[in-house]
Structure 1
Amino acid sequence: MRLLSHLRSRLLPRLLIILPVLLLTACWPESESGSESGSEVLRLSGHTMGTSYNVTAIGSDLDSAMIADSIKNTLDRVNGSMSNWDPQSEVSTFSASGDLNPVSISDDFLTVMATADEVHSKSGGVFDVTLGPLIELWGFGPRKPGDPVPSDKAIDEALEAVGQARLLSLDETRKTLAKAQPGTGINLGAIAKGYGVDAIARALESHGVTRYMVEIGGDLVTKGANPRGEGWRIGIEKPETGSQSIQMIVPVSNRGMATSGDYRNFFEHEGKRYSHILDPLTGRPVTHRTTSVTVIAENAMLADAWATAMLVLGRERGLAVAKTHQLAVFFIERDSQTGSESYITTESPAFRAMPGDQ
């Protein structure tokens, strides 16, 4: 269950190129023979949002056709609201409009924007859905060796068009969203996948499924016991290019999880390494040594958004925010003393205090 950078670049567009490579491996055999006696295991997979999805549902008398249709309809609805690739989607229509008056938005869009505003505020503004102008400026997409690094003036100009709290106004009571500048656009690439995972989970529960794992491109949520009747356990991959080894296995029963990393997405210019992770406050790539962040939260949407925010913050600032808001976060940092292929790990207090299998 790996989301590679070229797949991410096709999802809700180029903002995703700087966003986390999500690296999670489900730790149970693919064979159905080890399943808990008397339980039916339904496995469904496909493609959505420029990547793959995988659903494992456990129960009795599962209607596979009905569940598959429900998953498809759910993903169609979420993409129809949040896909920047679709010019007719809700987010694309809003971004393209020059109207500054509040516009009515769907419940899906409202939920995602409310969570985006929450994480934006609690993270000190480093999670920002209006980051698009900086992404375009830095050219995080097809990039040729020797392409210039943006000037300070160009960065300052782009920053004038970035700022979620300043440029967007959400009214949850009236279910409306307004922009302060005609050119303000929204990209939900750092949160939409997680929301899609949660939406599928709700669809499964509407069919009476109470044991499942849902994963889209590495973002996931679980509930109940796995096919063996045990708690779900997920492996966090080591942040090494070309490696698929596991850094740590964690219990993720009845929770959402997402991992963000920068070690497959960067460029070098005149001997200097530039991370694809941009800080919306400075307009520049981050310079800290944190290379991977895993967040476990009550749902996949929160885990997705916070994993992005924590990678922008880095271990030092991120740990302080995690303590303030009691977030379960696992940081992997390059060891400055022993070289780029050695790592130091840090767990937030909430991560260390997580209960085991549930």
Structure 2
Amino acid sequence: MLLCVCCVGLTACSQPDPVWRLEGMQGTALWHVTVNRPPATLSEAQLQAGLNNAFAETNQLIGSWEPTSTISQFNRYSGMDWFSVSPKLAKLVELTLHISQQSAGSYDVTLAPLLQLWGFGSHDSAKERIPTQAEIALTRAKVGYQKLQVRLDPPALRKSQPDLHLELASVADGFAADQAGLYLESLGIHDYMVEIAGEVRTRGISPRGDAWRIAIEKPQEEAGRMVQQGVSLRKAGLATSGDYRNFFVKGGQRYSHTFDPTTGSPVTHNLASASVLAEETTVADAYATLFMVLGEEKAKAFAETHGIHAYFIWRTDDGFKTFATTGFSEAFINN
């Protein structure tokens, strides 16, 4: 959802320090890492291998597409006693439940059965369907963040319903970016940018010698990718959620992959894109998802009330309109 504009524009005489650009796959998403001034004791090949391993560890923790991952094992587990997990996963689930409670359930990481009912998550367009209200009601009975508990010490999860399904896709890319960033910092790397599926984590300075320049994409479905707004980041995570990449149209009606837990159906408001800035990309990722559920008016009010730095783009009859919270405008917009 974000265009990473990391234009270097440097010549050999003005760039004495090396810049490494690495990439790979995290599940089905492509990741990019740019490192400015890497340590002399580390080789680029060593860093590539280390990052591959860091992303693989994240997959094994929260990748619902990985049958052996911790989250997949928890989803298959039919018991209702405590299920041991790593401290990282327990803290991540604690964050998601906090936002669920904070938003009165508008954000919910147990929605997977509803997504599957509507055919989202499948590459087969024939599975995209409009279920009956009876089917939605039956499926909603399998959903609810209140049926999930987390314990930090010792770290564990517990479900109050055997078929409860935990899906952390709404924070997976942000979490992966943060974990990769922490790995880089453990190696003594302080100037870097990590990007995965549009979610970004930055620290330090860019190869230009100033802040990392990132662009928020215009939420258009056709005519290529265009920049809507630029931001400059030094120590922040930026995440964007939108409705213009994953949707289907049937009977002239557009159905987004963003669901309202209170109805069990895709949202119907005009918000096309929500971008959030936070120190940790995981947090930004979760709130961006929440705002796409709430819609432009409720999201603006929520962001202002809770001091969340956010930027919204919504559709009108005359084109797109935008709104940036006070904190977003003052701290991050690159004019």
Q: TM-score range by the shorter chain?
A: over 0.9
Change (3 A) 1:57 1:36: farther
Aligned match for 2:326, one of 349, 355, 358: 349
How many equivalent pairs are there?
A: 329
Task: Report the secondary structure of 1:67's partner residue.
Answer: helix
Please give the TM-score of this superposition, normalised by the length of structure 1.
0.87
Q: Distance in 2 between matches of 1:323 and 1:35?
A: 46
Q: Distance in 2 between matches of 1:355 and 1:292?
A: 17
Aligned to 1:303: 284
Tell me the alpha carbon deviations over residues 236-294 of structure 1, each in whole angstroms, 9 at most, x when there is no partner.
11111122111111112210011111123222222222222111121111111000111
The answer to whether the Cα contact below 8 Å between 2:10 and 2:208 also exists between their aligned partners in 1 is no
Aligned match for 1:42, one of 20, 33, 36: 20
Aligned to 1:144: 126
Aligned match for 1:52, one of 4, 11, 30: 30
Matched, 1:291 2:269: no
Tell me the alpha carbon deviations over residues 194-248 of structure 1, each in whole angstroms, 9 at most, x when there is no partner.
1111111111111111100011111110011100101111111111112211111
Q: Distance in 1 between matches of 2:231 and 2:198?
A: 15
Could you tell me how far 1:36 is from its partner in structure 2? 5.4
The answer to whether the Cα contact below 8 Å between 1:169 and 1:179 also exists between their aligned partners in 2 is yes
**Which amino acid in the other structure matches residue 350 of structure 1?**
G
Deviates more, 1:110-119 or 1:49-58: 110-119
Deviates more, 1:347-356 or 1:286-295: 347-356
Task: Report the secondary structure of 2:170's partner residue.
Answer: coil
Task: Report the secondary structure of 1:144's partner residue.
Answer: helix
| Structure 2 portions without partners, runs of 5+ | none
The answer to whether the Cα contact below 8 Å between 1:36 and 1:229 also exists between their aligned partners in 2 is no
The answer to whether the Cα contact below 8 Å between 1:329 and 1:351 also exists between their aligned partners in 2 is yes
Q: Distance in 2 between matches of 1:158 and 1:326?
A: 34
Aligned to 2:308: 327
Change (3 A) 1:313 1:35: farther
Aligned to 1:279: 260
Task: Report the secondary structure of 2:202's partner residue.
Answer: strand
Q: How does 1:135-174 map to 2 (within 5 A)?
A: 135-140=115-120, 141=122, 142-144=124-126, 148-164=129-145, 166-174=146-154
Deviates more, 1:95-104 or 1:69-78: 69-78
Aligned to 1:126: 106
Task: Report the secondary structure of 1:264's partner residue.
Answer: coil
Q: Distance in 2 between matches of 1:73 and 1:106?
A: 17
Q: Distance in 2 between matches of 1:78 and 1:296?
A: 22
The answer to whether the Cα contact below 8 Å between 1:276 and 1:285 also exists between their aligned partners in 2 is yes
**Which amino acid in the other structure matches residue 327 of structure 1?**
I
Q: Distance in 2 between matches of 1:245 and 1:91?
A: 36
Could you tell me how far 1:106 is from its partner in structure 2? 0.7
Q: Distance in 2 between matches of 1:257 and 1:34?
A: 31
The answer to whether the Cα contact below 8 Å between 1:25 and 1:237 also exists between their aligned partners in 2 is no
The answer to whether the Cα contact below 8 Å between 1:35 and 1:41 also exists between their aligned partners in 2 is no
Could you tell me how far 1:148 is from its partner in structure 2? 4.9
Deviates more, 1:115-124 or 1:239-248: 115-124
Matched, 1:108 2:99: no
Aligned match for 1:230, one of 210, 215, 221: 210
Aligned match for 1:86, one of 66, 73, 82: 66
Task: Report the secondary structure of 2:11's partner residue.
Answer: helix
Matched, 1:195 2:195: no
Task: Output the aligned Cα RMSD.
Answer: 1.8
Aligned to 1:14: none
Aligned match for 2:240, one of 259, 266, 287: 259
Aligned to 1:65: 45
Q: Distance in 1 between matches of 2:64 and 2:260?
A: 21
Task: Report the secondary structure of 1:186's partner residue.
Answer: coil
Tell me the alpha carbon deviations over residues 305-356 of structure 1, each in whole angstroms, 9 at most, x when there is no partner.
11111111111111111012111111100013x2xxx100011222122156
The answer to whether the Cα contact below 8 Å between 1:36 and 1:228 also exists between their aligned partners in 2 is no
Aligned to 1:25: 4
Q: Distance in 2 between matches of 1:36 and 1:321?
A: 45
Q: Distance in 2 between matches of 1:237 and 1:34?
A: 31
Change (3 A) 1:129 1:34: farther
**Which amino acid in the other structure matches residue 28 of structure 1?**
C
Could you tell me how far 1:101 is from its partner in structure 2? 0.4
Q: Distance in 2 between matches of 1:41 and 1:188?
A: 33
Task: Report the secondary structure of 1:353's partner residue.
Answer: helix
